[in-house]
Structures are given as C-alpha cells and as structure tokens.
Amino acid sequence: MPIGWGIIGPGGWADRYIAPAIKQAKDSKLVAVLSRDKERADVFAKGHGADRGYDSLAEFLKHPGLDAVWVGVPNNLHAANAIPAMDAGKHVMVDITMAVTEEDCQAMVEAGKRNKVKLGVEFQTRHHPGNRELKRLITEGILGDLIMLRAQMSLPWGGGQVSGVQQWKVSANAALAHPDHSWKEVYPMRGGGVTVVGGMFAVDLLRFLAGRDVEQVYAYTDAATAPRGQETLANAILQFQGGVPAFMDCSSRNPYSDNNVTVYGTKGRATSIGGLRLDSEGAVEVVTDRGNIRKEFSGHNMYADEFEEFMRCIRENKEPSASGVDGWRERQINIAIVESSRKNAPVHIKL
Ligand SMILES: NC(=O)c1ccc[n+]([C@@H]2O[C@H](COP(=O)([O-])OP(=O)(O)OC[C@H]3O[C@@H](n4cnc5c(N)ncnc54)[C@H](OP(=O)(O)O)[C@@H]3O)[C@@H](O)[C@H]2O)c1
C-alpha cells in the first residue's frame, strides 16, 4: 500500500525537487496540496498528479489517504504547520531550516513524541551516494580514527556562475513557480543568510559523518556588513566531542565553489567530490597506504532515496537518518556560528 503524501507550501522547491522525489520513490504517492491560494494548490496538484488542492490546513489534514506531510513554507512557519499535522497523526518531513527559533524546534520534537509519529528533516545530502560512501569508509574503520573533517557548501552549487536559486527558478514550470520569494529577504522569516541556505548542510553532514556532537563553535561571518544582516559568507571551526575539529565554509559569493567534503583519519584521507551539491552526481577519492581509489557516482536521486528511507522508518518504526533532534542540533550550531562571529569568541553548545 503506497504512503500518501501531502505538500504544505507548493513553491519552487516543492515543484522542482519534492513532488518529483515523492513520485519517483517506491510505494509513495502525492495525494493533496495546501497553499494559501486554492487555485494555486489545484494547479500544483493537477501538475503533479495529486487528487486535489486545499487552502485550509484543517480540511487538508482530513484528506482521505493522507499519511505523511512535507512542510516547505517560510522557515518561521514550519512549526505552525508541522505541529497540527503531527497532532492529526501525520508523519512529517520538514524542510530546512527546521525552524528559526530553538523553541519551535523543541515543540516539533515534542509533538512527534507525543503523537508517536516520525519527524524527519530534509537534509538530503546525507543520502548523496558519495557521502554514504564516506560514512561507510569511516564506520568500517578504513580511514582509521578521525583526525579532522572539512566541508564546503557554497553557491553557485557545484560550479558555474548560475546560483542554485536561479537554477530552480529557471527550470521550474513557469505556471507552478511561486511568484513571490520575498520572505527570503526577511531575517525573522528565513532565520539567517547563507548559513541557513547552504552552511547548514555542511554542518549537518559533518555531524552525520563524525557520528558525534559539536561541543564548541568558533566562527567568522560577514553579517555585520551584509545587506539586512543576512550573512553572505561564513567560516567556522566546529569542535566535536573527542577532540575532533572540523572546518566548514559557506558563501553566496564564491564563483566555481567545489562543495567537496574531506575526511582525514589515521589511515588515510577520503573526499566526496561535489558531495554538497544540489544534484546527486559526484565521485569519492580515497588515499591510503594501499594506494588511490576513485569511484564515480551518477544516476542516483538522493531526494527520492531520502523519501524512501523516511517511509521505511514509518513502516519499520525506526528513527529517520535526519531526525527532529538532528534538525534542532543543527539550528543550535547555526545560531552559535552567528553569535560567535558577533562576539569574536568561541561559543559552547549546550547538549
Ligand atoms: N533542502 C533544500 O536544499 C532546500 C532548497 C530550497 C528551499 N528549501 C526550503 O524549502 C522551503 C520552501 O522554499 P522555496 O524556495 O520553495 O520557497 P517559495 O518558492 O517562496 O515557496 C514558499 C511556499 O510557502 C507558502 N507560504 C505560506 N505562507 C507564506 C508566507 N507568509 N509568505 C510566503 N510564502 C508563504 C508559499 O505560498 P502559497 O501559500 O501561496 O503557496 C509557497 O507555497 C523553505 O523551508 C526552504 O528553506 C530547501
């Protein structure tokens, strides 16, 4: 029996990546769409093969066959949509950034527990095949003990001068592309600049690979001089438990960013080339005493893989790879990056 999905927030991202991923994932079906505008919801529903659109959250949540919901409205509105959905017994996959405030992150995690439903956060880069290979190399001890990690997530995503935002606006169906993205310019609605557009993927992936938590952050951002206080560049040193440091950088100004992830262990080094791009292409290069290996990856869809994993967790009652707690931790670190730069001092993370 396929799992029935609903989309809350049929904007550019849902159109270009989420609805196609739900369609491609096995045993999965898009059934309903919620927008503030019923006509937009219906057009989106028709365009992506869903039953119908709604403009009322309460009515949408009653749609027959609706099991799970993807939430992709402005970040400050995630909790206000995700919590009623969980209270109605629906599983929720919330897009990044999970929420602007830690209080909202906590309330979402509590709603998931209270209702015994799954809460996942869309950190799709955990499902990139090259990053999965890095995780395997670490877990199986092939790289030895971790020494340090490094990750970049900058726009333009993976080469070229066209930004990711332009890429999905250009290629989205013009009839479905949302006309108004102005919330992204409003700090309290998006929750930050490039650290919430890109940097958070680097932070989350480093946590996923290291398999432990960050205890301290020391960072520089250009928020003090950036338009509307939304940073366009951030560099951070994350101190993981066990004394393992990681360096992450993100910027919306880097031309031809590589968006690679590198792990150094006592037995060697491995790099996921393009592991922090928006597509699922890339390669892994491993250098150890046994020599050099390069594996290419293509033909994957990390978004569909992510939805499949989430649905497996629903069926087998397991925690998704990126849970609500992971989303909350990432937001804590993100806030600490901005604070550390403002104070020009390290910031401890309360676990
Ligand atoms: N995982 C990733 O790599 C990735 C990449 C891009 C974006 N995202 C995330 O995906 C989500 C959607 O981003 P997007 O680029 O698709 O944005 P978008 O095109 O602006 O779409 C936002 C959606 O939210 C709805 N919405 C509800 N209340 C709103 C309000 N008060 N102001 C503005 N819009 C409102 C919009 O309008 P209607 O109600 O009219 O439908 C629209 O459906 C965000 O959480 C974003 O951070 C994730």
DSSP letters, 136-191, are HHHHTTTT-SEEEEEEE--SSTTSSSS-HHHHHHHHS-TTTS-S--GGGG-HHHH-
User: Is ligand 1 within 6 A of the CB of residue 11?
Assistant: yes
- pLDDT score for 174: 52
- pLDDT score for 351: 82
User: Is ligand 1 within 6 A of the CB of residue 113?
Assistant: no
Which parts of the chain register pLDDT below 50? 157-172
Instruction: Give ∠ CA 17-95-73 in degrees, rounded to 5.
Output: 90
- Amino acid type, 184: K
CATH number for 3-124: choose from 2.30.30.100, 3.40.50.720, 3.30.530.20, 3.90.850.10.
Answer: 3.40.50.720
- pLDDT score for 175: 53
User: Is ligand 1 within 6 A of the CB of residue 39?
Assistant: no
- pLDDT score for 79: 98
- pLDDT score for 256: 82
Atom of ligand 1 nearest to the CA of 122: 1
- pLDDT score for 41: 96
- pLDDT score for 166: 43
Atom of ligand 1 nearest to the CA of 96: 47
Strand spans (E) along 43-128: 52-54, 68-71, 91-94, 119-121
Q: Which residue has the tokens 């909350």?
A: 328
Please give, one letter per residue, the 3-state secondary structure of 278-303: CCCCEEEEEEECCEEEEEEECCCCHH
User: Is ligand 1 within 6 A of the CB of residue 327?
Assistant: no
User: Is ligand 1 within 6 A of the CB of residue 192?
Assistant: no
In this structure, are residues 82 and 89 in contact, taking their beta carbons and an 8 Å threshold? no
Atom of ligand 1 nearest to the CA of 15: 16
What spacing in Å lies between the alpha carbon of 181 and ligand 1's midpoint?
Answer: 7
Q: Which residue has the tokens 């930004």?
A: 163
DSSP 8-state assignment for residue 256: T
Structure tokens at 2: 């396929």
User: Is ligand 1 within 6 A of the CB of residue 75?
Assistant: yes
In this structure, are residues 112 and 194 in contact, taking their beta carbons and an 8 Å threshold? no
Determine how many CB atoms are found less than 10 A away from the CB of residue 49. Answer: 12
- pLDDT score for 150: 98
User: For residue 101, is the peptide bond before it cis, meaning its omega torsion is within 30 degrees of 0?
Assistant: no
What separation, in Å, do the N-terminal and C-terminal C-alpha atoms of the chain show? 39
Name residues whose C-beta falls within 8 Å of residue 47's C-beta, 6 or more positions apart in sequence: 15, 173, 175, 176
Crossing angle, helix 200-210 and helix 324-343, to 10 degrees? Answer: 120
* Assigned CATH for 129-300+322-348: 3.30.360.10
What spacing in Å lies between the alpha carbon of 33 and ligand 1's midpoint?
Answer: 13
- pLDDT score for 179: 64
**d(Cα 288, Cα 138) in Å, to the nearest integer?**
13
- pLDDT score for 158: 41
In this structure, are residues 79 and 108 in contact, taking their beta carbons and an 8 Å threshold? yes
- Amino acid type, 326: D
From 95, 181, 303, the mutation candidate for ligand 1 (largest count of ligand atoms within 8 A of CB) is 95
- pLDDT score for 165: 43
- pLDDT score for 242: 93
For residue range 271-309, list pLDDT tens digits in order: 999 999 888 889 999 999 999 999 999 889 999 999 999
Atom of ligand 1 nearest to the CA of 94: 45
Ligand 1, atom 43, lies closest to the CA of: 9
- pLDDT score for 168: 41
What spacing in Å lies between the alpha carbon of 289 and ligand 1's midpoint?
Answer: 47
**d(Cα 107, Cα 87) in Å, to the nearest integer?**
12
- pLDDT score for 102: 97
Pairing relationship of beta strands 52-54 and 282-288 according to DSSP bridges = unpaired
Per-domain residue ranges of the chain: 3-124, 129-300+322-348
